[in-house]
Amino acid sequence: MGTQTSRSWFYYVFIICFLYFDFPTYSMTFTTELSPANFKGTIVVGKGSIERGDAIRFEAAINAHPPSSNILMVTSLGGSVDEAMKLAGRIKTNSFSVIVHQECASACAQILFPAGKYSILTKGSMLGIHSCSISGKRHETCNEDIAKYAVLNGFPYGTLDYFSEMYGPGDMKWMTEISARCFGFYRGYDDPKPINGGRKACVDGVIFSMGSNVHFRPFGPSFDCRKATTRVERLFCIDKELMQSDKVLGFVYDTKLDATNIQEEEKLRSNQRQWINARNIDCRRLFTENMDFISTRDVALCLYSYNEDRIYELIDNSLLMPH
């Protein structure tokens, strides 16, 4: 990071905050606790607003009670950008992974989350992204510096740049694991490194379809929800993040179909129908009795993983096709 960028962080104290919620600005607490069932041993749990001195408190906590796993499970609605940068530095120096539990917004999502060795969300947890601000007004230099910092940690510049432009200081773009993965803002334990150039299906699928003769579909899944009959189809129609991934898959499929010669079109259509059937059969086994948000996360992630693989399969196959 250049000298000018380094100096600029000094002025970004309390720039990012979760403006439209009224919550007390207590500094973050750090405790070493037993980890959830899907992890082993103890981890560090951080909760609260990111305030001055949090980086020192984090370092003191891990020295006083070293966890058995270098994991910071964080719940925070944001706070000081300057302090978030310092805390992110301690996270990186100590090779900690960041796991979001419940909500991680603003400086938490845009600075702490990318700083982790791995950056993941617990089931149903959300990241919140929006624009930097000073006195409630958008601050573009801050947005640019934070996007560049994300790139230094292997996250795509375009994701933060796009959402900070779309969502002002008083708004928030919330993402669960599905959207975070689709926009490349996620680093799972099974993800290859470096993450730069990795999968971001919502971005790569749209880029692949640009300039084609395909007309972009309206927001929604790639099929008519009025004809939805199965639980898988109904989930696509009520889950906005699944809608998004299926919409992008529809763009890519239509683009591939448009570039396919007449002799191969029916083969592609048949192949797509078979793939959809196999996807739905495999993922529907994960349904429980309930159709509420948390109960459907496993099946939603299954469906998204299939969609992501199919998007890249169609893109890669198309790149090999003669034009």
- The answer on 158 and 9 residing in a single domain is yes
* Same structural domain, 176 and 270: no
pLDDT of residue 270: 95
Is residue 11 in a domain? yes
- The whole-angstrom separation of Cα 220 and Cα 246 is 8
Question: What confidence tier does 11 reach under pLDDT thresholds 50, 70, 90?
Answer: very low
Q: At 96, is the secondary structure helix, strand, or coil?
A: coil
Q: Could you read off the pLDDT of 40-70 as tens digits, one per residue?
A: 789 999 999 999 999 999 999 999 999 999 9
Mean pLDDT of 285-299: 93
* Alpha-carbon distance values, 218 to 221, 241, 273, 285 (Å): 9, 14, 21, 30
163 and 97 belong to one structural domain: yes
Mean pLDDT of 310-321: 78
**Alpha-carbon span 317 to 323, nearest angstrom:** 12
Share of the chain above pLDDT 70, in %: 85
Bigger pLDDT: 11 or 111? 111
Residues 144-157 have a mean pLDDT of 88
Same domain, 7 and 141: yes
Greater model confidence, 111 or 142 = 111
Tens of pLDDT, residue by residue over 96-133, are 999 999 999 999 999 999 999 999 999 999 999 998 87
175 and 214 belong to one structural domain: no
Question: Is 154 a domain residue?
Answer: yes
In a domain, 189, yes or no: no
Query: In this predicted model, what pLDDT tens digit does every residue of 229-250 receive, in sequence order?
Result: 999 999 999 999 999 999 999 9
Distance of CA 269 to the CA centre of its chain: 31
The predicted pLDDT at position 314 comes to: 95
Confidence of residue 17 (pLDDT cuts 50, 70, 90): very low
pTM for this entry = 0.82
pLDDT of residue 93: 96
Percent of the chain, pLDDT > 90? 57
Report yes or no on 61 lying in a domain.
yes
Using DSSP, state whether 169 is helix, strand or coil.
coil
- 151 and 59 inside one domain: yes
Whichever domain contains 155, its CATH number is: 3.90.226.10
Give the list of residues 6+ apart from residue 22 with CB closer than 8 angstroms, or none. Answer: none
Q: State the average pLDDT over residues 258-287.
A: 94
Poorest-confidence range of 129-138, 255-264, 299-308?
129-138
pLDDT for 211 equals: 76
Give residue for tokens 């490194």: 193
Single residue among 153, 182, 211 that ends a domain in this structure: 182
Task: Look up the domain containing 279 and give its range.
Answer: 201-319
Q: Compute CA distances 177 → 192, 198, 247, 293, whole Å.
A: 17, 16, 17, 13
Q: Are residues 95 and 214 in the same domain?
A: no
- Quick check: 285 pLDDT over 60? yes
178 and 205 together in one domain: no
Tens of pLDDT, residues 187-243 = 988 776 555 557 889 989 988 988 777 776 666 777 788 888 999 999 999 999 999
